[in-house]
Structure 1
Amino acid sequence: MPRKTRYPAALGGTADDLEAAFYDALQRGDVDALMACWADEEDVFCVHPGGPRLVGVAAIRSAFEQMFANGGAIHARPSHVRRVESLGASVHNVLERIEVLTAEGPRHAFVLATNVYLKTELGWRLVAHHASPGTSREPDDAVEAPGLLH
């Protein structure tokens, strides 16, 4: 019998709880748990590093199914979280440390990602995930924004 997972978002958890559930599902290669984190709306979107914009739940699910089929779980751990929050929305910019298996052994890549969460009737849900192309070096998190915007 399949293990039944309880999702913090459906139980009145926080956006942080949902983010933890999202990355846990990635690491386990569990597409059902991962998709339970997404809002059930056709205007949700996801951009994987170097990939096209995927719009809608079906396109996002298909992409994750292909990723899991090609290599199993995605070993991504978020850190250096920066948050912008309001009563009904939470935007998280995270540094993802991703473990990649190569012929030479495990390597690490670093990806900057932005996750957008909205509070819905069912709890917090992911509505957008956008990840930059990866680098082999960890970005310097201490860089301050310039005083002048363009």
Structure 2
Amino acid sequence: MSKAPQKPPSLGGCVDETHANFYEALQTGDIERLMACWADEDEVICVHPGSPRLVGLGAIRAAFDAVFSRGGVRVQAQALRKIESMTSAVHSVRERIDILTDEGSVDAYAIATNVYFKTAQGWRMVAHHVSAGGASEADDISETPHVLH
């Protein structure tokens, strides 16, 4: 008896549901659930640390398939900052990433910017950009610096 394909979870009630589904899909290595978070647009973009910009659902899916084929990724979204309107939202997230090395498990940190639009299908991601953060968790800087550069 063949197993029926699982239907991706219903998304769209609020942007936080899509955000949570994206990070849960990363944790579980569920490519279908992860791709269900993305808008069906030609110009969606994804940038992984140190990688070129991925444009379009095909390129994004291939990159995450490659990540998941190596055993997935353990990412915890922390320190969420949000700017939201009626039809768009920008989430800045500090990600704690558990990386398996030859010496064992090592924590690293990254900063992700996730952009969501409210579409006819509900809230969907249109951009995911991750920058390497470092080996230790850094606090946010919220005061205006005296020197800009």
1:135 aligned to 2:134?
yes
Normalised by the length of structure 2, the TM-score is: 0.91
The answer to whether the 8 A contact 1:113-1:129 is kept is: yes
For residues 19-98 of structure 1, the aligned pairs below 5 Å read 19-69=19-69, 71-98=70-97
How far apart in 2 are the matches of 1:149 and 1:33? 44
How far apart in 2 are the matches of 1:121 and 1:149? 44
Query: How many equivalent pairs are there?
Result: 146
The answer to whether the 8 A contact 2:23-2:76 is kept is: yes
- Report the equivalent of 1:146: 144
State the 4+ residue runs in structure 1 displaced beyond 4 angstroms: 147-150
Identity of aligned residues (%): 48
In structure 2, runs of 5+ residues without a counterpart are: none
How far apart in 2 are the matches of 1:148 and 1:117? 33
Specify the code of the residue in structure 1 equivalent to 2:27. Q
1:120 aligned to 2:119?
yes
- Report the equivalent of 1:18: 18
The answer to whether the 8 A contact 2:82-2:91 is kept is: yes
Alpha-carbon RMSD: 1.8
Normalised by the length of structure 1, the TM-score is: 0.90
In structure 1, runs of 5+ residues without a counterpart are: none
Deviations 1:91-134 (A, max 9, x none): 00000000001111111000000000000000000000000024
1:7 aligned to 2:9?
yes
